[in-house]
């Protein structure tokens, strides 16, 4: 299997969108209004566009765009986390980024293949084995601040789906021009090896373990 960009620009977009939506929340989780969801979606799309521009600037010759997006997203996530001096905002950004990383693979990638008639359950299980503990810690970290999976998906799904389509197209090209069905089947057939190429930025993983 070709090397993949797993983080995707949408993940860092979520780290900005979710804090904006919860900036005035108290410590108890609360439901987001449609207006807040719409605001978060707009912010996620805007950040995704900014990261696409950043990736274009740092892209190396012959580098797939999704790989450049991974580097841009990782850099932006680490910069944003490092600039957060307020513990609550740091927790929100970290939780949203890690949950986004998990959901873009466990939900959005799985749904992408389902639309092409392939059940990506073997990959989903391999991914859960590799990153389930990180996901559970991220959920626990965000819960007191109202950050949960439903919120992350509601704000970021449109951007995630668009960037996932770009990612899968790059993977297909790197694999010699596979169609969507063949690519999804190849991911399943190499689920553990493919999962090993999906890397959560070490700085984010370390911060989550603090």
Over residues 45-87, the pLDDT tens digits come to 667 777 778 888 988 998 877 677 777 777 777 777 777 778 8
pLDDT digits 0-9 by tens, 90-132:
888 888 888 888 998 999 999 999 999 999 999 999 999 999 9
- Calculate mean pLDDT across residues 2-17: 37
For the chain, what is the mean pLDDT? 78
Q: Which two tokens stand for residue 16?
A: 């900005």
What's this model's pTM, rounded to 2 decimal places? 0.75
């Amino acid at each position: 299997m070709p090397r993949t960009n797993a983080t995707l620009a949408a993940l860092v977009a979520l780290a900005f969108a979710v804090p904006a939506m919860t900036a005035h929340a108290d410590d108890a989780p609360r439901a987001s209004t449609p207006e807040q969801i719409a605001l978060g979606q707009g912010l996620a799309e805007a950040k995704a566009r900014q990261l696409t521009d950043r990736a274009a600037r740092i892209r190396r010759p012959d580098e797939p765009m999704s790989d450049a997006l991974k580097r841009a997203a990782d850099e932006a996530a680490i910069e944003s986390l490092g600039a957060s001096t307020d513990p609550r905002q740091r927790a929100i950004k970290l939780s949203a980024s890690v949950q986004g990383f998990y959901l873009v693979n466990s939900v959005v990638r799985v749904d992408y293949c389902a639309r092409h008639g392939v059940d990506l359950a073997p990959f989903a299980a391999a991914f859960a084995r590799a990153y389930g503990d990180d996901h559970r810690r991220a959920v626990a970290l965000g819960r007191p601040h109202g950050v949960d999976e439903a919120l992350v998906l509601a704000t970021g799904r449109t951007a995630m789906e668009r960037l996932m389509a770009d990612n899968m197209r790059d993977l297909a090209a790197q694999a010699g021009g596979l169609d969507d069905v063949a690519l999804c089947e190849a991911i399943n057939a190499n689920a553990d090896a493919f999962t090993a190429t999906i890397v959560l930025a070490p700085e984010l993983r370390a911060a989550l373990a603090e």
